[in-house]
Amino acid sequence: MIYILHVFYGIAMAYFGLISPGMLNMTVLKIRLHVGKTESIKFAFGAAVIVFIQSGIALFFAEFFIENPKVIEILKTAGIFVFFILAIFFFFLSRKKIESKSKISKGNYFFKGMAMSSVNMLAIPFYLGISIYLGSINKIIIEQPYILLFISGAAIGSFLLFYTYIFFAKIISKRISFIATNINIILSLLFLSLGIFTLIKLIS
């Protein structure tokens, strides 16, 4: 059961971490609508491979931090600011208009997915922060083989999220502004709640 839970937490982390309509999601949506389902799935697989690598790097550092309790205390404090910054980030993102019209270049969409996912600078810090938080509340064990299960879950979760955009492409494209606004507001409130919860826990 504990193995399944690590996969589940990895899936949940990646799925909800990527759910906001951003660069990768909008690109996979456009490929589905303008090129085809097969190519959009290739793009999703490529992006998911990079998520596996990114979350693996994050867990490598998380393992180091967990083994150094003094660093963890500093990171818990820093985590509060990160949660509040993310809350503000998603709040302003909810007020931003989503541009859904752009040209899709030809080429190998698997490698395009890998390339675009690689330039997501927030991915590793996000996975690092969430994994340390989950480790600090004893939800995950940051050591092998649990790390492998967790990052495999992250790759699966990211692909499932991209496939959600592929499957509901026509519906999402028609209501993208409404969906983006509401998802980003929910994420803003979620990170605000996590920041407050972590602050209260640290003080107490």
What is the per-residue pLDDT across 85-117, written as a single tens digit (0 to 9) for each?
777 876 776 666 655 544 555 678 899 889 988
Ordered DSSP codes for 111-177:
HHHHHHHHT-TTHHHHHHHHHHHHHHTTSS--STTHHHHHHHHHHHHHHHHHHHHHHTHHHHHHSHH
The mean pLDDT of the chain is 80
Q: Rounded CA gap, 110 and 173, in Å?
A: 22
pLDDT tens digits, one per residue of 138-174? 888 888 899 999 999 999 999 999 999 999 888 877 7
Count of structural domains, the chain:
1
Task: Name the pTM for this structure.
Answer: 0.74
* Phi, psi torsion values for 121, nearest 5 degrees: -65, -20
Please give the residue range of the domain that contains residue 9: 2-203
